Structure 1
Amino acid sequence: MMFVGRVLRNCYKIVRLLGSGGFGDTYLAENLDLPGHPLCVVKHLKPRDPNPDVLQIARRLFASEAQVLYRLGHENNQIPRLFAHFEENGEFYLVQEYVEGNDLSSEVIAGKRWSEQEVTQLLREILEILTLVHKQDIIHRDIKPQNLMRRRQDGKIILIDFGAVKEISTLVNIQGQTSASVAIGTPGYAPNEQAAGYPKLSSDVHALGMLAIFALTGVKPYDLPRDPTNGEVVWRNWANVSERFADILTKMVRYRFSERYQSAAEALSALPAPPKPKPQRTPQSKSQPASQSTLQSTPIPRRQVIQWLGLIGSGVGLAIVGEQLLQGVFGRKDDVVETATPSPSIRSDISSTSSPTPKQLATPPSISLQTAKFETVTVDAQGKINKRSNRQAKYFVEDLGNGVTLEMVQIPGGTFIMGSPPGEKQRDLDEGPQHPVTVPGFFMGKYEVTQAQYQAIMGNNPSKSKGEKRPVEKVTWDDAVEFCKRLKQKTGRTYRLPSEAEWEYAARAGTTTPFYFGETITTDLANYNGTDSYASEPKGQYRQHTTDVGIFRPNAFGLYDMHGLVWEWCQDDWHDTYQDAPTDGSAWLTNDSTKVPKMLRGGSWNTAPRACRSADRLCRSPDDRYYDEFGFRVVCVVA
C-alpha cells in the first residue's frame, strides 16, 4: 500500500490516490527534481504471481512497452510522454506526462449531431496522429471518445491510453507455438477481428469511423443496427451527409477488414483537402471594449488519467504475449478516471470512476446559449506577449430591463490545485497548503457587476468613480448578497456570490502561473497600480481609478478583469490557511457566519501586482466598503 506523501526514487512525491484497479494504483504526484514541482501521474503495477520465471517475462514485456510509449510520446506532441519507468521490490512504476484538457466524451454525446464539416475536421486531426502511430507498426486498439482529449492549451486533439498498443510482430510462446493477442477494446468501436484477438491497423480505422458516425448521428455505436446478411453497420438513416463523405465512413467501418482502408494514412488521403486558411485580420485594439467576446464553449471536462493497461495475461498490456503463460501476472485492468477540466491545475486528462464525475450544466429552455470568439494572450517574465490563442465559448444574456443586460458565461466543472506553491514569488502563508478541489460547473458574470446593472436591480449607485460600464464599488458584502437576492426575484434563477474556490478556479482557467496571463502582468493587460512590478516587466501606468469593464484581455474561460479593477467579494468566511478546507468547491462557512470577516479576491486598481495574483486573498468585515475598491461578480447555478 502506498501512502500520500511517500517519495519514489527521491523524485516523485505522491500527492493523492487517483484510482485503483486489479492491476494496481494510480497517483497524482509532484516531480521534486524540476522547478515548481510540476504534476505528473504515477502508475503502480503490482504483479500477483511471484513465480520468478513469470516475473522475468513480465519485466521484459514491461520494458518493451515502456520503450514503445517513450518513442511515441517524444516523437509526437499530441501523444502524452512517458517520463520514467522503473522497478522496485518486484513491482513496476510508470511516470507519465500530466496534460490539461477535456476528453471527447463530453462533446460526442448521445442525441447531439455534429455537422459533416465538424466531423471531417475531427477525423482529419485524429488520422494525422494515427498516421504517425501506424507508421511505427503500432495499433492503439482502443479509439473512443474517452481516449481522445482536447488539450486546453491549444485546443488540439491528444491521443491517450496507449496501454493497449501492440507492435506488429509475431511472438512465439514457450512451446514454440504462435499465440494470438489478448482481446482489448470497447464494444461498438472494436471490430470483429480485434474482438477475436487479431487486431490490424485497419482495426483503429474501424473504431475511428464508428466514433465519427456517433458524432454525426448522435447514436451510440453499440445501439446502431447491423445488416444480418453481411454484418455491415446501418447508419445512413440517422445522418444527412454528402454521398462522398458517406462512402468514406462506410469504407472505414466495413465488417471485413480487407475491405477497409488499411491504415490511417490511407483513410486520411481519402478525406477532402482542408479549406485554405483565410487571411488573418488585424487584432482588435486592446483599448477597445471586447463586447463581442465571450467564453470558450468548453465541454465539461472529465480529466482522464493517461492509462497504461497493465501487462498481458490480465488483458491490460501489450497484446504480444503467450496468453496462457502470463495469465494472472497482473489483475484485470479497470478504467481509472477522476473528475477534474479542466483544469485546471489538475490536468484534464485525469478522470476516475472513484470520484464524482462533473456534469454538463443543464440548460433549460428558458436559457438560450450564444457562442462567440475571443483571443487570449500569454506573457513571459518580461511582460512580452509570447503566445496568442483563439478561443470560443458559450454564454447567456439576462435582461435586466431598460436596455441593461447581464452576460453569464458557462464555466465547466473540473478539478484544480487551489492555492499557491511554496516557491511562488511574494506569496503569503494564507495561500496554502495547496490542495485539490473539484468544482461543479456553473455560470459566472463575464464582467464584474457594473454600475448600470447595480442601478437596475438596487435602484442606487454608491460608486465613487462614476460610469455606467465601470464596475460598481463602495459596496459591502451585505450589499452584494442583497443584489443577488433581488436578481433572483427578478429572473427566477438562483444567483449568489462565488465561493472562494469557484473564484480561483474561474480566474486560473486552467493555468498554474501567478496570473492567468503567465508569469507576470502588465498595465496593458489589467488595471492595477503599475508603479510597482512583479517579475522582470517594466513598470506601467497607475490610473488611480476604475475603468470600464472588458477593455483588457480575458482568460481562457472568457472572463474579464479577474486581475485588478476592483476586489471581488466571495461567499466564504475568513480562514488563515486552507487546512481542512472543503474540497468540493463549496463555500467555507463558520457556525456564526454573519459576524466574521469575508473573503475578497483579485486585487484592484489601487493594489500592487502581487495582490492581483490568482492565489492572493484579502478579508474584510461584511459591512466594510473600503473606499472605491470593493465590488463583486455573480454566479448562477442552473438546475
Structure 2
Amino acid sequence: MRRLRLLGGLALAAALVLLASSATPPATVNDGYDDFLLVPAGNFSMGDNFGDGEARERPVHVVYLDSFYIGKLEVTNADWTRFRNDPGYDDPKHWPGGLVVPRDQVPFWTQVQNHGGGTPDSGSYPVIGVNWDSATAYCHWLSEKTGRKYRLPTEAEWEKAARGTRQSRYPWGNDISRDRANYVGAQKYDTVQPAGFFDGSLRGALKTQSNASPYGALDMAGNVMEWCSDWYGRTYYSESPRRNPKGPESGAYRVVRGGSFFVEAPDLHSYARSAAWPSFQAHRMIGFRAVREP
C-alpha cells in the first residue's frame, strides 16, 4: 500500500514538472521568417543612468513590461523581398490609412553602393529607406502570413531588448570599438553591413566581437536606426506610465533607436533617443526589426 502511494506521488510530481515545462515559453521561436528571441516579463530601469545623454533621455524610471519576442536581426532585403513580391503587398488593410507605398518608391533599392535589395548578393543586408508606414505594413502582412501577432517594438521594449536589466551603455557593455559595431568611419564608404555581421566570427582578416544584447539580439547599436511604434515625446519619460508604456497618444515624429553607420559612438548608446518623420522615405540610415507577441 505504501509502495502504491509512493508511485502515485512520483507520477503526480512528474506530471507537475511536465506541466510546468510546457508552460515555459521557448527562448527562440521561428515561424518561417527568422529567429525571434524571448525577452521575459519584468521590471527594468529605462533611461540615461550615466548622465552623459540628452535631457530627453531622463529621468531614469522603472518600467514593467510583459514578455515579448524581439527579432534577432534587423529586417533584411531578403525579408522585404518576400513582402514586396507577395500579392498581399498591395492590400490596403496592411497599410496605415490604407495608403500603399509603391514598390519602386524605396529610393535605395537599386543602389549597389548601399547594398539595395534590388542589387546582386544583397539579401543579407538590412533593408533601408523604408518609412514607418512601410515597416508597419510589413508587420501586418507577417501577422497574416503566420497567424501570430507581429508589430514594431515600443520604445520601452526596444530599450529593454537592447540592454536588459544591467544598464550598460551598449548592448554588450560600456566600451565600443569598430570591430563590434558599424558606426561612422568603420568603412571607406559609410553604409550598411550585413545583418548580424558582428557575431564574433572571423571574416577574412577581420575578427569581429559579438555585439549581442543580453537576450542575443544583434546590431542593436549601429548599422541602421530602427523604427519603434511610439510617437516621440521629448518629455515623455517624466510622465510615462510604469507598466507597458506605448508613448504619447499623438505627435509629429515617430521614435527611432539604435544609431547607425553614419553617427558617432555616443549616438549608439542603448538609451539614446532619436525621432523621424514617419512618412520620410529618403533616409538610408533607417531600417527596422519586428516584435512577436507570445
User: What is the aligned partner in structure 1 of residue 230 from structure 2?
Assistant: 572
Query: What's the counterpart of residue 31 of structure 2?
Result: 398
Is the contact made by 2:45 and 2:165 (CA closer than 8 Å) also made in structure 1?
no
Whether 1:620 aligns to 2:266 is no
**SS of corresponding position for 2:275:** strand
In the alignment, is the contact (CA less than 8 A) between 2:254 and 2:278 conserved in 1?
A: yes
Q: Deviations over 1:269-295 (max 9, x none)?
A: xxxxxxxxxxxxxxxxxxxxxxxxxxx
1:422-452 deviation digits (Å, cap 9, x = unpaired): x433x11100111000010011111010011
- Rate the CA distance shift 1:602–1:452 in 2: closer, same or farther, 3 A: same
Q: Secondary structure at the match of 1:483?
A: helix
TM-score, normalised relative to structure 1? 0.36
Separation of aligned partners in 2, 1:477 and 1:625? 8
SS at match of 2:238: coil
Q: 1:525 to 1:575 in 2, by over 3 A?
A: same
Q: CA 1:613–1:542 in structure 2 vs 1: closer, same or farther (change >3 Å)?
A: farther
Mapped contact 2:226–2:258 kept (Cα < 8 A): yes
Query: Aligned residue for 2:75?
Result: 449
Aligned to 2:192: 546
Aligned to 2:42: 414
Matches within 5 A, 1:9-48: none
Q: For residue 458 of structure 1, what is the aligned residue in structure 2?
A: 84
Q: Provide the residue aligned with 2:247 in structure 1.
A: 588
1:434 alignment counterpart: 60
CA distance in 1, matches of 2:223, 2:261: 5
Instruction: Name the counterpart of 2:218.
Output: 560
In structure 2, the CA distance between the partners of 1:237 and 1:480, relative to structure 1 (3 Å rule), is: closer
- The answer to whether the aligner puts 1:474 opposite 2:100 as a matched pair is no
- Alpha-carbon contact 2:224-2:285 (below 8 Å) kept: yes
Q: State the secondary structure of the residue aligned to 1:468.
A: coil
The one-letter amino acid paired with 2:234 is D
- Higher gyration radius (CA): 1
Q: Measured at CA, do residues 542 and 235 of structure 1 come closer, stay the same or move farther in structure 2, by a change above 3 Å? A: farther
SS at match of 1:600: strand
Written as runs of structure 1 = structure 2, the 5 A alignment for 1:165-204 is none
Match of 2:166 in 1: 511
1:406, distance to aligned residue in structure 2 (A): 2.0
State the 1:514 CA deviation.
0.9
Residue 184 (structure 2) pairs with residue 529 (structure 1): yes
- 1:563 is paired with a residue of what secondary structure? coil
After superposition, residues 280-299 of structure 1 pair within 5 angstroms as none
Q: How does 1:53-202 map to 2 (within 5 A)?
A: none
Say if 2:260 is the partner of 1:601.
no
Q: AA paired with 1:526?
A: A
Distance 1:604 1:481, change over 3 A: same
Deviations 1:55-76 (A, max 9, x none): xxxxxxxxxxxxxxxxxxxxxx
Q: Is the 8 A contact 2:41 2:64 kept in 1?
A: yes
RMSD: 2.8
Q: Structure 1 563/235 Cα, relative in aligned 2: closer, same or farther at 3 Å?
A: same
Deviation, 1:579, is 1.2
Question: 2:207: which partner in 1?
Answer: none
**Is the 2:172–2:214 Cα contact (8 Å) retained in structure 1?**
no
Determine what percentage of the aligned residue pairs are the same residue: 31
1:569 Cα shift?
0.4
Distance 2:126 2:282 in 1: 15
Q: Aligned letter for 1:397? A: N
Helix, strand or coil at the partner of 1:409: strand
Distance 1:475 1:361 in 2: 37
Deviations 1:141-185 (A, max 9, x none): xxxxxxxxxxxxxxxxxxxxxxxxxxxxxxxxxxxxxxxxxxxxx
Paired residue secondary structure (2:242): coil
Partner of 1:357: none
| Structure 1 residues 543 and 415: CA distance shift in structure 2, 3 A | farther
1:444-499 alpha-carbon deviations (Å, 9 max, x no partner): 11101001101101335734422101110101111111111111122221111000
Residue 398 of structure 1, CA deviation: 2.2
Q: Work out whether residues 48 and 58 of structure 2, in 8 Å CA contact, stay in contact via their aligned partners in 1.
A: yes
Structure 2, unpaired ranges of 5+: 15-19, 86-102, 116-121, 199-209
Residues 398 and 237 of structure 1, relative CA distance in 2, 3 Å threshold:
closer
Q: 1:237 to 1:441 in 2, by over 3 A?
A: closer
Change (3 A) 1:566 1:598: same
Q: How many residue pairs are counted as aligned between the two chains?
A: 246
In structure 2, the CA distance between the partners of 1:485 and 1:605, relative to structure 1 (3 Å rule), is same
Provide the C-alpha distance between the structure 2 equivalents of 1:448 and 1:613, rounded to a whole number of angstroms.
17
After superposition, the Cα gap between the structure-2 partners of 1:588 and 1:484, relative to the gap in structure 1 and judged at 3 Å, is same
**Counterpart residue identity of residue 562, structure 1:** M
SS in 2 for 1:488: helix
Q: Which residue of 1 aligns with 2:94?
A: none
Separation in 2, partners of 1:563, 1:610: 10
Residue 484, structure 1, aligned to residue 139, structure 2: yes
Residue 482 of structure 1 aligns to a residue in which SS?
Answer: helix
Point out which structure has higher relative CO (alpha carbons under 8 A, 6+ apart).
2
